[in-house]
Amino acid sequence: MHDTSALIEARVRRFVDERLRTNVYLDLEPLTLARWEVPGEPVPFAEAVGQVYEPFVVGTRWGRPWGTTWLRVTGTVPGTTGAELLFDLGFNAAEPGFQAEGTVYRLDGSILKAVEPRNAYVPLEGDAGDTFELYLEAAANPDVADGFRDFRPTPLGELETAGDDPLYVFRQADIAVRDVVVWELLQDATVLLQLMAELSDTPRRAEILRALERMVDAADPDDIAGTAADARAALAEVLSRPASASAHRVHAIGHAHIDSAWLWPVRETQRKVARTFSNVLSLQDESDFIFAASSAQQYAWMKQFQPELFSRMRDAVASGRFVPAGGMWVESDTNLPGGEALARQFVRGKRFFMDEFGVEPLDVWLPDSFGYSAALPQIARAAGSRWMLTQKMSWNETNAMPHHTFLWEGLDGTRIFTHFPPVDTYSAQLTGAELARAERKYAEKGVANTSLVPFGYGDGGGGPNREMVAAAARLRSLEGSPTVTLSSPAQFFETAEAEYPNPPVWSGEMYLEFHRGTYTSQARTKRGNRRSEHALREAELWATAAALRGAEYPYGELDGLWETVLLQQFHDILPGTSIGWVHREAERRYAEVLASTERITVQALRAVAGEGTTELVANAGPYAWEGAAAMGIAVASPIETPPATVARTMGGFDLSNEHLAVHIDESGLITSLIVRATGRETIAPGERGNLLLLHRDTPTQWDAWDIDEHYRRHVIDLTDAVSIDLVPHPTTAIVCVVRSRGATRITQTLSLAADSHALEIETTVDWHERQKLLKLAFPFDVHADRASSEIQFGHVQRPTHTNTSWDMARFETVAHRWVHVGENGFGVAVANDSTYGHDITRATRSGGGTITNVRVSLLRAPLYPDPEADQGEHTFRVSIRPDAEIADAVREGYRLNLPTRTVAGAGPVESLVAVSSDAVVVEAVKLAEDRSGDVIVRLYEAHGGRASATLTTAFDFDSVIETDLLEREVDAAAVTAAALDGTEVTLRPFQLVTLRFANPVLRASSGL
């Protein structure tokens, strides 16, 4: 037979595009429009509906960037069934969620449905002949992404620079009648064309093509409506062929990944959520599918701003159609939040879902975060979660993850059942290409055969549309395709667990070999997060101590402050990858958090310390410092240790105290750092520490997200000093170094305090570079084959060599408050107060062996999406602690981040909680979430070994139990004995434990 398949396919595709698509809607009747331009930020419906509206016609330009236009829409319900409203706000080829969007309101203020690209219809309510009046809130959101064709600087990311010129032309506002038969035919043809494209030269492909040819023959191009049923009949047989028994099985879950901020501000996300959720509820009125949405914060916004919509959501949750997923406050980054903050993501998220819906999500839903901390399995399981879903690891540049379904083992040995959808997207449309990819890539073939596909437009929201649901119906069982079951997260995970009872294990962090710049971009946002986390710890500790003395505990205010911090840990805010608007707002809100926590702390300490004029030292940290016990208050006393000294020499400056001797050369660089007790030198021979390195930073694509390995080949050593001076101080030796490069000015103070085991360096940078990366480097005379880096509730060890492609790809890593490198008998800790990015490598040592280079990433200057990223002044503190073990690194990290404070009071106060072992760290002390007044103490093993300790309290209590993160009792795993004079605990390496002390009563001897 002659091969005419290419011609047939071309004929079919033209027929679909020119005949079917254009005949879905008939009998268009224009709507009458009037508009009101919102002069500033968006307003609620109740305010908008009372404004003066002026006539508006289709074809008019509208919408300044980030502006809002309200349209009054009026018309008459036609007598024909199937009538809908059609709108085109000026939609372009960009993805839904990255351009204009709208929300249609009824006169009572309830949302009818959203209007978005590829989902632009609105159901028409009422009886034939009724007049109707609706209001369309049209958002002129600019396409900041510009299709991600390039990453050029754009002024559109700030309201002040975006301009006022209208962005869009309003193209359509009609009443139209949808021909359901023609629409169904279009869905039949679309699914078959997509499936055919994925099949090779097989009989199945050929029969589909011939059926499509018969479809075209059966349809009269002059009467599509009248012949559509005959055309559908021509496809019925090929659509009825069932899938093979071995076909891959897909669980399709409706979804809309909505970034809580990114290329739009938080206030626009609030409207995106309303639009998406109203779309879902409207579609569920006509189709049967399950929709899963994460992020309790987004539900909370609906409760606050759209209570009627939230009520409908609650009904849908109760019926099982709308499923809260993930259990976290937002889909947070997992590399950068501190341990307690990551725990609170689950505490706040799950409590909201349980309080509002009576539902506890058992899955962790993080498809788009930029790598996954090794602490996450333990935190998730401690929150009661059973399963985890992620997608982002498919973005690895170098190495492919070997599994799609597996057990993920965290740093303490906890495992969680994890799935990584082989469809490689969290915004699937259920196309033939996507399903074929899922089947082709699925790594567990032969032992399992089920995967998850989240379908619905995402990132900027949108969710499923009726075309996707129609595709799912046709693909339920179709020869040549994977089977598709409309499902829920729990249904999928229970099926996958049963199918694959002994999956492989992935141990340790899931490091994303991409987006490494997220550890450094937007330094002010990161500093605000670090400071806020520690300020909240301090506020909760002292507020708890005050509450036990009769003060009121600020439950509501602390909850609100935590929710602000948790929101801003979203995976495009804290990583520094949003438009400037988002980061400027984040900085303002961090300032508000710090002001509020300071007020709470000061008021609480006043109640705890009592009335008096005695100068006291309050220590919120988990280790004794400056004469104050951990989490205690002591009388301030002068330092009895001899002061540190500093002397100018011919070659620079010598700083010295009882523990260290430091030489700083005439360039302000450290050439020697000696431990006096042993004479051991810390700086490698011929090398200099405190070296500022300025690298070219021009990533191949995602500017704010990426640091590419080639940055290392382009570097300038900033060694020239404008000035080097001694700074007088009675007890501390201080040298100040000033450097300048163009408009950038860098001031460093190197300080050695009396009795300190660490040299501290404060670096203030007035930063005016573009596309540069600033690092602070220390070459240590240490032969280390691995580096230890603090993460949540512990630390991980990463190789310093590049033996494998996995090692090579890990050229920029994340650490929290410290990193440690060491050889047998000697190590060095580098602690910081606000940075996260590091690279730690080995190099040849002069005289033999190797040295270990530790470089701390301070600043970047990407141009997209925020062309002003990181410009201006920043301050960083780093300390170098030689002769350090892991225990010393842990102490130093807390010391730098939780400084003591001086208060006036009556006298010393016993620590509210004390622990006998340095290895057991108290991370949080607070009152219970249920407002019972019980005291919650969260602690963990920090050194990486087994540890036993006695925990004593300044209060009596009725009982102590172990709980999960949600403060529900669990079987005892750490407590070995409990009594008023001490609770005995034994922890395995990095174990996280939450203790609940019931009915605490402060002892009279514990303080005032």
Round to whole Å and give the CA distance between 756 and 643: 10
b vs e for 712-725, b when ≥16 Cβ sit within 10 Å of the residue's Cβ?
beeeeebeebeebe
Catalytic residue, candidates 179, 188, 368, 708: 368
Coil, strand, or helix at residue 821?
Answer: strand
Question: Do 97 and 189 contact (CB within 8 A), yes or no?
Answer: no
Round to whole Å and give the CA distance between 261 and 650: 55
Sheet holding 975-979: strands in order across? 913-915, 947-953, 982-987, 975-979
What residues contact residue 62 under an 8 Å CB cut-off, 6+ apart?
A: 35, 56, 69, 90, 138, 140, 166, 168, 169, 170
What residues contact residue 849 under an 8 Å CB cut-off, 6+ apart?
A: 783
Question: Do 74 and 130 contact (CB within 8 A), yes or no?
Answer: no
Q: State the amino acid at position 722 in one-letter form.
A: V
Query: What is the chain's alpha carbon radius of gyration, rounded to the nearest angstrom?
Result: 31
The token pair at 408 is 């993920």
Round to whole Å and give the CA distance between 654 and 101: 64
Tell me which residue of 38, 113, 435, 168 sits closest to 284, measured CA to CA: 113
| 83, β-bridge pairs | 177
Q: State the amino acid at position 419 in one-letter form.
A: H
User: Checking DSSP bridges between strand 982-987 and strand 947-953, what pairing results, if any?
Assistant: antiparallel
Q: Check residue 130 and report its DSSP letter.
A: -
What residues contact residue 862 under an 8 Å CB cut-off, 6+ apart?
A: 517, 521, 697, 699, 703, 704, 771, 869
> Within 10 A of 189 (CB to CB), how many other CB atoms are there?
22
Round to whole Å and give the CA distance between 118 and 95: 9
The token pair at 139 is 């958002």
> Within 10 A of 200 (CB to CB), how many other CB atoms are there?
6
Round to whole Å and give the CA distance between 776 and 856: 5
Tell me which residue of 101, 139, 109, 113 sits closest to 44, measured CA to CA: 109
Start-to-end Cα distance in the chain: 100
Question: Do 104 and 155 contact (CB within 8 A), yes or no?
Answer: no
> Within 10 A of 941 (CB to CB), how many other CB atoms are there?
26
Question: Do 884 and 818 contact (CB within 8 A), yes or no?
Answer: no
Coil, strand, or helix at residue 466?
Answer: helix
Question: Do 53 and 38 contact (CB within 8 A), yes or no?
Answer: no
Q: Is the C-alpha dihedral spanning 692, 693, 694, 698 positive or negative?
A: negative
Longest alpha-carbon distance in the chain: 103
Q: Is 17 a catalytic residue?
A: no
- At residue 291, what are phi and psi to the nearest 5 degrees? -115, 130
Tell me which residue of 718, 703, 701 sits closest to 771, measured CA to CA: 703
Round to whole Å and give the CA distance between 674 and 664: 12
Report CA-CA distances (Å) from 254 to 258, 394, 747, 842.
13, 21, 53, 48
Round to whole Å and give the CA distance between 247 and 569: 40
Coil, strand, or helix at residue 610?
Answer: coil
Task: Tell the burial category of 226 from Cβ atoms under 10 Å away from its Cβ (0-12, 13-18, 19+).
Answer: exposed
User: Checking DSSP bridges between strand 322-324 and strand 291-293, what pairing results, if any?
Assistant: parallel
Catalytic site residues?
368
